[in-house]
Chain A
Amino acid sequence: MAFEFRLILFVLLLAASLALILVAASITGLYIVKLLIGIVAVVLDVLAMATRYFTYLFEPMYKMKRRVAVIDSDDPYTMSPSGNAIIRREKDLVYATAFVKIPVYASATEMEDAEKADFAMAFGRMLSIIKEPFRLSTQLYVLNKDEYVEKIRRRLDEAQDRYNQLASKESAEGASASRNVSPEAERIRGETTMWRNMLDSVSGARSHSLLSYAAITSAGGTEEEAVNLAVLKGGELATGISTALGISASLADRGEILFLIEPDYMIPIANLSEQITRKEEGNG
């Protein structure tokens, strides 16, 4: 459809350019007018060539305001009600894309050369298990350590509270007792130091994780049709991948899909604030 539209536009622009050249040739004198007609013919000729790749920009550029051309102002996709595919509308068709998680925990460092080659060959074979085009991605992402850091921070606060309580209790009793800290207070102080060190080391460096997944798309007249087809193909792909690699691949759900396609899920906000604080400290 888009291809046909592109061709029609190409022919129309070229015909207009040609017509203008003929009109200009038929005029005698009036050189300024002929020059203007010639310039328009040249522009139309270049525009005709531009239809080869840029047809999708013609309308947005025509409607452009303040040098911002809007190709699409809607969300790029919507999540299917079942949460196991994303839906994108393009012209008359609905496209649904399902995602398959590929949990691979093998590492080249633990393999012999023959095993590495076999594994890589199996990965290569995996690409040919399905006739439809699909995308296989491996993503290195920043781990969201927010919850973990929060847990350590809570433990540190608890340990500090216990130490303070014990220290104030001991200091109240301690007028008569010896000046030395009790073994219990010493132990809690050690625990506090341990949690503080752990907090520093965990929040100080970024942690990353590697994840592989596949995505496959189906087109349909309605959302239900497209989603059902995509989930079906996704299941087929998961089975093929599981067999080829000897793992247990499965369809990704709502939260996991967002994590695979949204850049803000790939880099958690907790790490960002950390990064910005560090940068400010560096500048300061």
Chain B
Amino acid sequence: MDTESLVYIAITGLVALMLIMTSAGYGPFALVIAVLAAIAILVNIMINYVDFIVFPFVTRLLGISFVVGNRYTIPKTQDSVIKYVNGIYYATGYLTGNLYNYVFSSQQEQDDRTAFAGAMDKWERIVMNVDFPFKFNVIAMSENVQKYREELDGQRGYIEFQISREMNSTNPNQMSIGELERRLGIIQAKMDRVATGERPMNVMMYIESTAVGVSEKEASDRLANQLSQLQTVFNAFDLSIMRVTGREVYFLNRLNYMIPNWAELNKMFQSQK
């Protein structure tokens, strides 16, 4: 939960609470106003955390579609970008596909090397099993090494503190100590790698596919089918891959033409990154 989200929720929540507190002065409508204000608090929380559900729901309900460029539209379902060229519709949709946790999560470098080697085989099998166009995109940016080291130091210190507290307790839990030691090992492995010259990275990954049709519906249906096939084949990587809907479809499409800086990327893709 990031600080900015908390600030937004807290401030808008305070205003709604103020309305609830003054609702007694609304006479026969006191309950109506109090319920509306409570709904506003709930909607505000939903906008912040599940906007990819709220936004498509609203656009579908009101039937609103968006023109995002010459010949490009985002339909009311908010799940694809449709390009219209000479009577043919090209629907492009996106899946989250963050493979970053797949690697760099082990305590030994050898484990990561094995995972890497296996990943290549899996990737080739995916490519062989797919017979429609798709793209796998990785947006990468080097992180500040010093800052990263400091963060890891902080995390290590905190876990060491948790371990010592658990060990000094009257009834130490061996399972939680083991888990904490495993996490400590991962952090140490990351620190060792940075020490050997490997640069820490900020990475965002997504999968994109395009389908065609002579009508918008046909293209969208084909796209849905293609994306569900991609979800199945990418399951080989043991990832939770979900279809991107809502405002992030617009921003992902924009990434075709320009790549903003990392701070902006973070703002754009907070929930589905």
The chain A residues found within 8 Å of chain B, CB to CB, are: 3, 10, 14, 17-18, 21, 24-25, 29, 31-32, 34-35, 38-39, 41-42, 45-46, 48-50, 52-54, 57, 60-61, 64, 67-77, 86, 88, 90, 95, 97, 107-109, 111, 113-114, 116-117, 119-121, 124-125, 127-128, 130-142, 206, 208, 210, 215-217, 261-264, 266-267, 269, 272, 275-276
Contacts and interface: CB of A to CB of B under 8 A. Distances in A.
Nearest to B48: A52
B65 interface: yes
15 contacts: A18-B18, A24-B22, A25-B22, A31-B29, A41-B19, A54-B247, A76-B70, A88-B257, A108-B120, A128-B140, A138-B136, A210-B127, A217-B259, A262-B83, A267-B212
Contacts of B65: 67-69
B198 A206 contact: no
Interface residues of B, number: 91
Nearest to A215: B259
Given A107-B124, A135-B255, A210-B127, A42 B19 contact: yes
Given A72-B67, A266-B210, A90 B258 contact: yes
A45 B37 CA distance: 9
Interface in B193-244: 198-203, 210, 212, 214
Greatest chain A CB density within 10 A among B15, B19, B51, B134 is at: B15
B169 interface: no
B26 A34 contact: yes
A215 B43 CA distance: 38
Interface stretch (B110-118, B149-157, B158-166, B173-181): B110-118
A263 B68 contact: no
B113 A121 contact: yes
Contacts of A262: 83
B172 interface: no
A72 B29 CA distance: 43
B254 to A, nearest CB: 8
B250 A71 contact: yes
A26 to B, nearest CB: 9
A267 B210 contact: yes
B55 interface: yes
B184 to A, nearest CB: 24
Contact of A97 (B29, B123, B201, B259): B259
B243 to A, nearest CB: 17
A48 B200 CA distance: 37
Contacts of A124: 103, 116
Of the candidates A10, A72, A131, the one having the most CB atoms from chain B within 10 angstroms of its own CB is A72
Contact of A137 (B32, B39, B135): B135
A117 B254 CA distance: 33
Given A72-B67, A116-B121, A140-B133, 20 more contacts: A21-B15, A24-B22, A24-B26, A35-B29, A35-B32, A42-B40, A48-B11, A68-B67, A70-B67, A120-B119, A127-B203, A128-B142, A130-B142, A133-B259, A134-B139, A134-B259, A135-B139, A136-B139, A139-B135, A267-B212
A129 B142 CA distance: 8
A215 B265 CA distance: 15
B261 A133 contact: yes
A6 B132 CA distance: 40
A272 B201 CA distance: 40
B247 A108 contact: no
Nearest to B73: A68
A272 B132 CA distance: 12
Given A128-B199, A134-B259, A74 B66 contact: no
B88 interface: yes
Contacts of B202: 133
Contact of B138 (A39, A45, A136): A136
